[in-house]
Structure 1
Amino acid sequence: MLRVAAMATAAIGAAWIHRVNDPGVLCPLRAFTGIPCPLCGGTTVFIELGSGRPVQAVLANPVAFAGALAFAVAPLGPGNRWWALQPGTRAWVLGTALLGSELWQLARLGLLRV
């Protein structure tokens, strides 16, 4: 529960900071090349959650949203199931998630027509 409280506090703080002073694009790859990385939108996930907009949080980066959710509930048992998987299976799942996230970001930012 402390983990979830800390994440919620961080999300509300990030939303407040963003509302007071928008820092612009935080991803170095996107800032220099215009091409998003698979984790682009991760900060936006927390900003949107902290602002009480969960749908926009999911749309910003579904993989980062799922990762944050998994991190929050890991101590309740799902974390044990993850570590019980074979290393190759974990690598495949993470690789597939990152590939899907990159395609999502390219489509979201209009760089990939779907």
Structure 2
Amino acid sequence: MAVAAVGVSWIHRLHDPGVLCPVRALTGLPCPLCGGTTVFTELGAGHPARGALANPLALTGAIAVALAPLGLWGRWWALQPKTRARMLGAALIGSELWQLVRFGVLRV
């Protein structure tokens, strides 16, 4: 993941592809996952705080995937399906609100 982050950062520095999110490209509004590429670009460039601020949900998801081989998924799957759905729903709603504030659509 670290090598991929450095690679994404290097490619982004050479050629900025612009908006990658199809929802944002079509509507102008960010989706809950907007900033996911920015997370890895900033981490690869050595700016962890900026990466975390771009999309905390994407960063948390990447950490969860990185730690998955340690067997931590057992706790997740031990939860009731409704509990998992509620947690994911709350995370997506929170991420969308974060993105709307980050892009200036909502003012706090």
Partners of 1:49 and 1:86 in 2: how far apart? 34
- The equivalent of 1:35 in structure 2 is 29
Instruction: Confirm whether residue 85 of structure 1 aligns to residue 79 of structure 2.
Output: yes
SS of 2:4's equivalent in the other structure is: helix
Q: Is the 8 A contact 1:74 1:80 kept in 2?
A: no
CA contact (8 A) 1:11 1:46 kept: yes
8 A Cα contact 1:49 1:57, kept in partner: yes
Give the equivalent residue in structure 2 for 1:4.
none
Q: How does 1:5-20 map to 2 (within 5 A)?
A: 7-20=1-14
Aligned-residue CA RMSD (Å): 0.8
1:70 aligns with 2:44: no
Amino acid across the alignment from 1:31: A
Q: Percent of pairs identical after alignment? A: 69
**Which structure 2 residue ranges, 5 or more long, are not aligned?**
none
- Residue aligned with 1:113, SS: coil
| Cα distance between partner residues in 2 of 1:101 and 1:37 | 8
Unaligned ranges ≥5, structure 1: 1-6
Distance 1:54 1:80 in 2: 28
| 1:110 is the counterpart of 2:104 | yes
The 2-side partners of 1:74 and 1:82 are apart by 11
Structure 1 residue runs of 4+, over 2 Å off?
none
Cα drift, residue 77 of structure 1: 2.9
TM-score w.r.t. structure 2 length? 0.96
**Amino acid of the structure 1 residue aligned with 2:100:** L
